[in-house]
Amino acid sequence: MSADICRWGILGTANIARKNWKAMRQAGNAVLVAVGSRSAGRANEYIRECQSEVPFATLPQGCTYEELLQREDIDAVYIPLPTGIRKDWVIRAAHAGKHVLCEKPCGTTTAELREIIAACAAKRVQFMDGVMFMHGHRLPLMRAELDRGAVGTIRRISSQFSFAASDEFLNSNIRANNQLEPLGCLGDLGWYNIRFSLWAMQYQLPQAATGRLLTEHGPAGQTVPLEFSGELLYPGGVTASFYCSFLTELQQWAHITGTAGSLYLDDFVLPYYGCEAQFVLDQPAFRVQGTSYHMERHQRSHVSSEYSDGHADSQETNMIRRFSELARGTTHDPFWPEVALKTQLVLDACLQSARQDGRPMPVSQS
Ligand SMILES: NC(=O)c1ccc[n+]([C@@H]2O[C@H](COP(=O)([O-])OP(=O)(O)OC[C@H]3O[C@@H](n4cnc5c(N)ncnc54)[C@H](OP(=O)(O)O)[C@@H]3O)[C@@H](O)[C@H]2O)c1
């Protein structure tokens, strides 16, 4: 095995890990060695299904979570276990010397994530969250436009990430279960809204955040957020609002408005299927002449040539490739734990605010 190839294990037979199975196969510097499961039968069936569609040269092996972490032929572990039970497994993986690609939300609280990050730092292993859009080619193009002043000075960021869940989802999915995913839609969807706002603001933390729990689900004392709105408050009056929901039709748009224009994309999390990811720069003009009142559209579409998913240059494959490079390299990138922590800090502040009638909660790293 080449020294440049990262040898992966996956903890749990999660649905989302099917996508990353393919990403590992296509990354060019990764190989999947084993899948851990609470059930040997489930691991073997999962491996059979994924391997029949996207085969590795050597069949990945099924095992328990513990056995996977003990294997010496695994460098990195992808952990898409439910957030409610994930912390212990991430820390166990770090103690076993494995680099950790951790699903989001990373912890149920900031305190949990701090423990996770400390364990990874102590064992000198890389930590990264599983936010795929961070690895698309579109973000650097958008950054370049913002940096050249295409929207002027940023004043307002808004985003919505939502889908209308079925009754079956609300009855059986881990995201609607307080023990497994206590942050509900805020952890599953709002994590992306917050990350996008942080990205737009060059990862500056807001000074405060507010939140509103619009709808909850579950028995008293064990509810999860189903619908949430939040607002990040920056110095100088810059604000970032977001809405995330398991009740509202599929939407994933983001809008950055400045003093001289705006930037818009309608698929900021998962690019629409195809080989181009787009965003729009908008500078409308309002012209009044006598009795004519014209609102003129002045838009420019920008295109990033990249496949939306399932391809060697799609965002999830870039994520696996980048993580594999870090895992096999000699230096680690502190950016990834840092940005995960910032995301969790803001999320926590929004939730605390919602639980205190929308009172602004300070956001600080200390
Ligand atoms: N980054 C992304 O794009 C993205 C997309 C979707 C989801 N996610 C995140 O990934 C995580 C997993 O989501 P998913 O929809 O893929 O989950 P899922 O299909 O329900 O899988 C979770 C896995 O965790 C294991 N598990 C261990 N204890 C469990 C328990 N008590 N109950 C249920 N499962 C348990 C199970 O594997 P075994 O039974 O084999 O042990 C199960 O297959 C979530 O935190 C979610 O927010 C991220």
Q: Return the CATH number at 64.
A: 3.40.50.720
In this structure, the answer to whether residues 220 and 298 fall within a common structural domain is yes
Q: What is the pLDDT of residue 329?
A: 92
The pLDDT tens digits for 193-218 are 999 999 999 999 999 999 999 999 99
Please indicate, yes or no, if residue 328 is contained in any of the structural domains.
Answer: no
Do 128 and 154 lie in one domain? The reply is no
End-to-end alpha carbon distance in the chain: 43
Residues 126 and 148 in one domain: no
Give me the pLDDT at residue 15, please.
98
Say whether both 97 and 114 belong to one domain: yes
138-170 per-position pLDDT tens digit: 999 999 999 999 999 999 999 999 999 999 999
CA of 174 to the centre of ligand 1 (A): 7
Judgement on whether residues 99 and 187 belong to the same structural domain of the protein: no
Contacts of 98 (CB under 8 A, 6+ apart): 9, 69, 74, 75, 76, 77, 125
10 is a domain residue: yes
Residues 209 and 348 in one domain: yes
Domain C-terminal end among 133, 152, 184: 133
CB 364 within 8 A of CB 342: no
As a whole number of angstroms, the distance between CA 274 and CA 272 comes to: 6
For residues 154 and 127, membership in a common domain is answered with no
Q: What is the pLDDT of residue 365?
A: 86
Residue 166 lies in a domain: yes
Whether 121 is in a domain gets the answer yes
Within this chain, do residues 103 and 152 fall inside the same structural domain, yes or no?
A: no
What's the gap in Å between 194 CA and the centre of ligand 1?
A: 21
Residues 55 and 195 in one domain: no
Inter-axis angle of helices 110-122 and 83-95, to 10 degrees?
A: 20
Residue 27 lies in a domain: yes
Tell me, what's the pLDDT at 143?
A: 98
34-75 pLDDT, tens digit each: 999 999 999 999 999 999 999 999 999 999 999 999 999 999
Query: Which of 133, 148, 181 is at the close of a domain?
Result: 133
Give ∠ CA 243-244-248 in degrees, rounded to 5: 105
Q: Whose CA is nearest to atom 21 of ligand 1?
A: 14
Q: Which atom of ligand 1 is nearest to the CA of 270?
A: 3
Average pLDDT over residues 174-182: 97
The answer to whether position 350 is within a domain reads yes
The protein residue with its alpha carbon nearest to ligand 1, atom 27, reads 81
Q: What is the distance in A from the centroid of ligand 1 to the CA of 6?
A: 23
pLDDT at 1: 64
Report the nearest-CA residue for atom 24 of ligand 1.
Answer: 81
State whether 225 and 118 are in the same domain: no
| H-run or E-run covering 162 | strand 154-162
Between the CA of 79 and the centroid of ligand 1 the distance, in Å, is 9
pLDDT-based confidence at 366, cuts 50/70/90? Answer: confident
Statement to judge: residues 125 and 146 lie in one domain: no
Tell me what percent of the residues of the chain surpass a pLDDT of 70.
Answer: 100
Domain that holds residue 78: 6-133
pLDDT tens sequence across 73-109 = 999 999 999 999 999 999 999 999 999 999 999 999 9
Give me the sheet containing 154-162, strands edge to edge: 299-305, 276-282, 262-265, 251-258, 154-162, 239-245, 224-233, 208-217, 361-362
Q: Report the domain count for the chain.
A: 2
pLDDT in tens, 221-251: 999 999 999 999 999 999 999 999 999 999 9
Q: 78, 101, 133: which is the final residue of a domain?
A: 133
- Domain assignment present for residue 331? The answer is no
Residues with CB under 6 A from ligand 1: 12-16, 37-39, 42, 80-83, 85, 103-104, 130, 132, 174, 180, 188
SS3 34: strand
pLDDT at 3 over 90: no
Sign of CA dihedral 70, 325, 60, 103: positive
- Whether residues 157 and 184 share a domain: the answer is yes
pTM (2 d.p.):
0.98
For residue 290, CA distances in Å to 296, 298, 307 come to: 16, 22, 49
Residue with tokens 């999947």: 32
217: domain CATH number is 3.30.360.10
* pLDDT (0 to 100) of residue 78: 99
pLDDT of 256 strictly over 70: yes
Tell me what the pLDDT averaged over the chain comes to: 97
Q: Is the pLDDT of residue 260 over 90?
A: yes
Residue 288 has pLDDT above 90, yes or no: yes
Statement: residue 6 has pLDDT above 90:
yes
How much distance in Å is there from the Cα of 232 to the middle of ligand 1?
29
- Supply the pLDDT for residue 162: 98
